[in-house]
Amino acid sequence: MSYPEPRYLGENGEISAVFRGAGTPPDVVSPGGTTTHYLASHATTGGEFGLYKVDMGPKAPGARTHFHRSISESFYVLSGEVALYDGERWVTGRQGDFLYVPPGGLHAFRNDTDEPLSMLMLFTPGAPREEYFERVAEFAARGGEELRDFQVRHDSFFL
């Protein structure tokens, strides 16, 4: 195994790092108390990856069973407990637990507890997930074919 081909060919490096302070307010506040922080968005990373911090309130529904065709999704639990479906069974993710879901892998998540939880979600490559986070509740309220088209446009195929 070797490193990928170089993408930066300069000699002296450049000033290009992006800092996001811990006190930055969430980018999305969803119904039910779920907040999403765009730690490293599609735009920030040039499509390399997307990293999001998701804080879910008690009994938050999360996402039912689905898969992605072009992206992987990973979950890292920061605090609380999250119910994670690994395609075969539901497991309880606790602080420090990690779940990797390759493209095509069935998965789901939800907060079954009376306590909040916090987790990181990593998508690779970095698809433009921001519109999905910002508008999924709106499309879910409408339902039907419009919701399905929105989900498919965002590489989310629900069972």
36-54 b/e (C-beta count within 10 Å ≥ 16 → b) = bbbbbbbebbeeebbbbbb
Angle at 149 between CA 145 and CA 152, to 5 degrees: 135
Confidence at residue 113, expressed as pLDDT on a 0 to 100 scale: 97
The CA–CA distances, whole Å, from 70 to 11, 43, 49, 112 equal: 34, 17, 12, 29
* Average pLDDT by stretches of 10, the chain with 159 residues: 90 94 94 90 93 96 96 98 98 98 98 97 93 88 90 94
| Cα–Cα dist 37/51, whole Å | 9
CB under 8 Å to 142, separation ≥6 — which residues?
none
| Cα–Cα dist 80/113, whole Å | 9
pTM: 0.92
Confidence at residue 123, expressed as pLDDT on a 0 to 100 scale: 96
Phi-psi region of 16 (alpha: psi -120 to 50; beta: other; left: phi over 0): alpha
Confidence at residue 143, expressed as pLDDT on a 0 to 100 scale: 87
The domain spans of the chain are 28-158
| Cα–Cα dist 11/64, whole Å | 48
Confidence at residue 33, expressed as pLDDT on a 0 to 100 scale: 82
Confidence at residue 137, expressed as pLDDT on a 0 to 100 scale: 86
At 45, give phi and psi (nearest 5°).
Answer: -100, 5
For 28-158, the fitting CATH number among 3.20.20.80, 3.90.700.10, 2.60.120.10, 3.40.50.300 is 2.60.120.10
